[in-house]
């Protein structure tokens, strides 16, 4: 009888010890997590986002993989890089900026179906509403700027610069990328609220700075009354402001730019640009890793949309020490 009790007691001890071991393994799961970051294109915005991704990965003890940076914007450049990077190891989470609202659905869904979680940053799949059931609602979250609100704000600021009257032009980038589409929509919506301001055109440079410069110059030649220009991202903004400088119209044509690259901030200081809207890419990257970690380790519910806000640089605040953190590195 005593022997049987002893066997039972030892069995219970073994079960308890095994439970402790398993719990220990579970608590250290974060050390085994692997996150893959796939940027949209090689530019200062995504380099700055990478900084935030690395900071969070270090904080939470996560194995981080950084994919090759695409040299051009678009699914034809991004998808092969995504697939090659994901094939290199066991991936728990992919953080990426889809370069097409539609064309990236199937490639990302393929990885999701294999058990890999997805978080989109800066750009999104479909209309970005992952809370409703659809073929693109599988990502954990979209983390990025309220692009439409930013577009409306820039329209109002350009309107003020023009004395609430005149003609404006928009240098856009890609008609199938959620972020810039919304910026253009917001800009148009903001202009529509200004009865004496007219939007005379919106062109697409396809993320090629030289094309943005050429298209802007053509627009200025076609309509010399254009008094304000909105460049919706790094390449369109840098190309459009350079066209104005080359045409000798600095000051006469007001420039509102999206994305606080060092190039655009220097142009603002020189008076060649009048306003620069800064997103918060490092914060986007950090939050994507942080929320992914919380979900993968504790199944914490992740908000389907996390807005990171923006800051606005003008000649009045560009040298303010508090604003320097928002310049892309």
Which domains, ranges and CATH numbers included, belong to the chain? Answer: 31-145+280-309 (3.40.50.2300), 147-278 (3.40.50.2300)
Would you say residue 4 has pLDDT above 90?
Answer: no
Q: Residue 321: CA atoms inside 13 Å, Cβ hemisphere, count? A: 0
Read off the pLDDT of residues 73-127 as tens digits, 9 standing for 90 and up.
999 999 999 999 999 989 999 999 999 999 999 999 999 999 999 999 999 999 9
CB 67 within 8 A of CB 168: no
CA distance 292 to 213: 39
The confidence score (pLDDT) of residue 31 equals 56
Would you say residue 3 has pLDDT above 50?
Answer: no
Instruction: Kindly report the number of other CB atoms within 10 A of residue 192's CB atom.
Output: 12
Would you say residue 222 has pLDDT above 70?
Answer: yes
- Quote the radius of gyration of the chain (alpha carbons, Å): 24
CA distance 173 to 179: 10
The confidence score (pLDDT) of residue 329 equals 86
Would you say residue 11 has pLDDT above 50?
Answer: no
CA distance 139 to 116: 10
Read off the pLDDT of residues 67-80 as tens digits, 9 standing for 90 and up.
999 999 999 999 99
């Amino acid at each position: 009888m005593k022997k049987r009790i002893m066997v039972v007691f030892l069995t219970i001890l073994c079960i308890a010890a095994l439970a402790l071991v398993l719990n220990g393994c579970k608590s250290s799961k974060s050390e085994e997590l692997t996150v893959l970051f796939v940027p949209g294109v090689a530019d200062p915005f995504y380099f700055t986002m990478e900084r935030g991704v690395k900071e969070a990965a270090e904080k939470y003890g996560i194995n981080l993989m950084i994919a090759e940076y695409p040299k051009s914007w678009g699914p034809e450049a991004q998808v092969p890089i995504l697939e090659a990077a994901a094939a290199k190891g066991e991936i728990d989470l992919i953080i990426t900026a889809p370069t097409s609202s539609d064309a990236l659905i199937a490639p990302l869904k393929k990885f999701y179906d294999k058990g890999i979680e997805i978080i989109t940053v800066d750009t999104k799949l479909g209309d970005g509403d992952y809370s409703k059931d659809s073929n693109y609602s599988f990502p954990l979250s979209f983390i990025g700027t309220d692009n439409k609100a930013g577009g409306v704000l820039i329209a109002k600021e350009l309107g003020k610069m023009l004395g609430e009257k005149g003609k404006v032009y928009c240098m856009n980038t890609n008609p199938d990328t959620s972020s810039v589409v919304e910026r253009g929509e917001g800009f148009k919506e903001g202009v529509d609220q200004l009865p004496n301001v007219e939007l005379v055109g919106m062109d697409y440079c396809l993320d090629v700075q030289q094309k943005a410069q050429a298209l802007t110059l053509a627009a200025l030649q076609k309509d010399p009354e254009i008094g304000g220009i909105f460049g919706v991202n790094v390449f369109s903004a840098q190309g459009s402001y350079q066209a104005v400088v080359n045409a000798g119209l600095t000051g006469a044509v007001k420039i509102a730019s999206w994305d606080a690259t060092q190039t655009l901030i220097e142009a603002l200081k020189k008076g060649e640009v009048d306003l620069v809207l800064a997103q918060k890419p490092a914060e986007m990257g950090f939050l994507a890793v942080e929320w992914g970690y919380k979900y993968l380790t504790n199944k914490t519910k992740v908000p389907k949309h996390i807005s990171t806000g923006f800051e606005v640089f003008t000649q009045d605040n560009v040298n303010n020490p508090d604003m320097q953190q928002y310049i892309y590195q």
